[in-house]
Amino acid sequence: MFFMIHHLVSSEFFSSSTPEDQEQWERIVGGIKAPNGSIPYQVSLRLWGVWHFCGASLVTPRVILTAAHCVDRLAPRYFKAVVGTNQLLAGGTAYDIRKIVVHEDYDDYVIKNDIAILFTEQEMDFGRKVDAVELNDEPVEKGEELLLTGWGTTSYPGRVPNDLMQLELRSITYEECKEAHKSINPVFETQICALTKAGEGACHGDSGGPLVREGRQIGIVSWGIPCARGKPDVYTKVEAYMRWIEKTLYDDDQDHVRYIEDHRRHRRTNRH
């Protein structure tokens, strides 16, 4: 949910009355449909395995990264993680959640440390449509091209689209973002902000989803002004939480950390 400033969560499932209505809804707010199979790390978190309420990303075959506000005080038995599909109404595989770890210093008042890790009961089957995203551990400069994906509503309040949407954004500086939101909510150095123009951006249902640069996840959708009003959206900065992520994974099972290290090494070898 964007907070009223709005956490970008939505629990309203896609429904349509006319083709015209559906066409209006099918945007991440200014985005386009993501090609099938192009975002294999995208996860849909669904209450009872049915109603999409947040996005997330695959980190290992048993680990999912999302926003703390999506799962704080939510028991694992109430939702499932669905992977391997771009459509909310068709396809994909649902996995039960074994454990939720919300950042110990998560503050839902000022929306700080908005990060959580989910561990699945079973190992997910990786393949062409299901795969992990590499986590970014390097600084992001102003003006870099970023990719946002999700099933966020197309307007405020609005409804969730059936198809996964994508939108190209540009990073802005911490100082610019802090200034833009100075009368609304604090912005912290553990966050990163992105913007295109009024009429484009994240909205309800995108929360917890990935913001990516060149195939590496740099951010987790956290909060913004609903929706796409020309103010920068705010994301939890993955780079700032790498130690916390690695410790959380290590405390559960050392194999999680080994997978991330091997995955990173493999990707970088393939890039050269």
Q: Residue 181: phi, psi to the nearest 5? A: -110, 15
Of the candidates 171, 207, 222, 233, the residue annotated as catalytic is: 207
CA distances from 111 to 3, 57, 221 (A): 9, 20, 12
DSSP E strands in 111-268: the ranges are 116-120, 134-135, 145-150, 165-172, 191-195, 210-213, 216-223, 233-237
Spell out a b/e string for 21-52, using b for 16 or more CB atoms within 10 Å of the CB, else e.
Answer: ebeebbbbbbbebbeeeebbbbbbbbeebebb
Q: Which of 34, 50, 12, 52 is nearest to 159 (CA)?
A: 12
Active site residue 171: no
Annotated catalytic residue 69? yes
Beta bridge partners of 150: 165
Nearest to 218 by CA among 272, 109, 145, 128: 145
CA distance 150 to 165: 6
* Torsion angle of C-alpha atoms 181, 183, 187, 192, degrees rounded to 10: 0
Residue 207 bears catalytic tag: yes
The single-letter code of the amino acid at 233 is: D
List the catalytic residue out of 114, 163, 206, 233.
114
Distance CA 88, CA 10 (A): 13
Q: For residue 208, which phi and psi values (nearest 5 degrees)?
A: 85, -10
Catalytic residue among 7, 52, 69, 256: 69
- Alpha-carbon distance 271 to 268, whole Å? 5
As annotated, the active-site residues are: 69, 114, 207
